[in-house]
Chain A
Amino acid sequence: MKKIFSYPKSLKNVPTHYCPGCGHGIAHRLVAEIVDELGIREKVIAVAPVGCAVVAYDYWDFDCCEAAHGRAAAVATGIKRARPGNIVFTYQGDGDLAAIGTNETIHAANRGENISIVFINNAVYGMTGGQLAPTTLLGQKTATTPEGRKAGSEGFPLKISEMLARLPAVKYIERVSLHSPQEVIKAKKAIKQAFLNQVNNLGFSLVEVLSACPTYWDMPAKNALDWIRDVMSKEFPLGRIK
Chain B
Amino acid sequence: MAKSKILMTGNEAIALGAIDAGCRFYAGYPITPQNELTAFMAKNMPKAGGVFIQAESELAAVNMVLGASAAGARAMTSSSSPGISLKQEGISYIAGCRLPAVIVNVMRGGPGLGNIMPAQSDYFQATRSGGHGDYHCLVLAPYSVQEAYDFMFKAFALADKYRNPVMILGDGMLGQMMEPLQLSDNRKTGNQKPKTKIWMLTGCRGRKPNVVKSFYLQEGDLEKFNLTLQKEYRLIRQNEQLYEGIFLKDAKIIIVAYGTMARIAKGAVKKLRKAGKKIGLIRPISLWPFPGNIFRRLAASPKRLSFLVVEMSYGQMIEDVLLSLNGKSPVEFLGRSGGGIPSEEEIINKIKILMK
Contacts and interface: CB of A to CB of B under 8 A. Distances in A.
Interface of A: 41-45, 47-48, 54-55, 57, 60-68, 70-71, 74-83, 86-87, 103-104, 106-107
B24 to A, nearest CB: 8
Contacts of A43: 203, 205
B59 A74 contact: yes
B353 interface: no
Given A67-B63, A77-B64, A81-B53, A42 B203 contact: yes
Contact of A78 (B59, B68, B93, B211): B68
B66 interface: yes
- Residue with the highest number of chain A CB atoms closer than 10 Å, among B67, B73, B211: B67
Given A43-B203, A66-B214, A78-B64, A83 B57 contact: no
A61 B209 contact: yes
Interface string B192-214: 00100000011111100111111
Interface in B51-96: 51, 53, 55-57, 59-61, 63-73, 75, 89-90, 93
Nearest to A76: B67
A57 to B, nearest CB: 4
Given A64-B211, A104-B63, A79 B70 contact: yes
B97 interface: yes
A63 B211 contact: yes
Interface of A is mostly: mixed
B67 A74 contact: yes
Contacts of B203: 42-45, 62-63, 83, 86-87
Contact of B63 (A54, A74, A86, A106): A74
Given A71-B63, A82-B194, A103-B56, A63 B68 contact: no
Interface of B: 25, 27, 51, 53, 55-57, 59-61, 63-73, 75, 89-90, 93, 97, 194, 201-206, 209-215, 217
20 contacts: A42-B206, A43-B205, A54-B215, A57-B211, A62-B209, A63-B211, A64-B210, A65-B67, A66-B97, A68-B63, A70-B59, A74-B55, A75-B63, A78-B70, A78-B71, A81-B64, A83-B72, A103-B56, A103-B57, A107-B55
B90 A71 contact: yes
Contacts of A57: 209, 211, 213
Contacts of B194: 82-83
B204 A41 contact: yes
A74 to B, nearest CB: 4
Contact of B51 (A42, A48, A82): A82
Most chain A Cβ neighbours within 10 Å, of B51, B53, B64, B205 = B64
A66 B212 contact: yes
A118 to B, nearest CB: 17
A78 B65 contact: yes
Contacts of B72: 82-83
Contact of B25 (A68, A78, A103): A78
Contacts of B201: 45, 63-65, 79, 83, 86
Contacts of A67: 63, 66-67
Contacts of A86: 71, 201-203
A61 B57 CA distance: 32
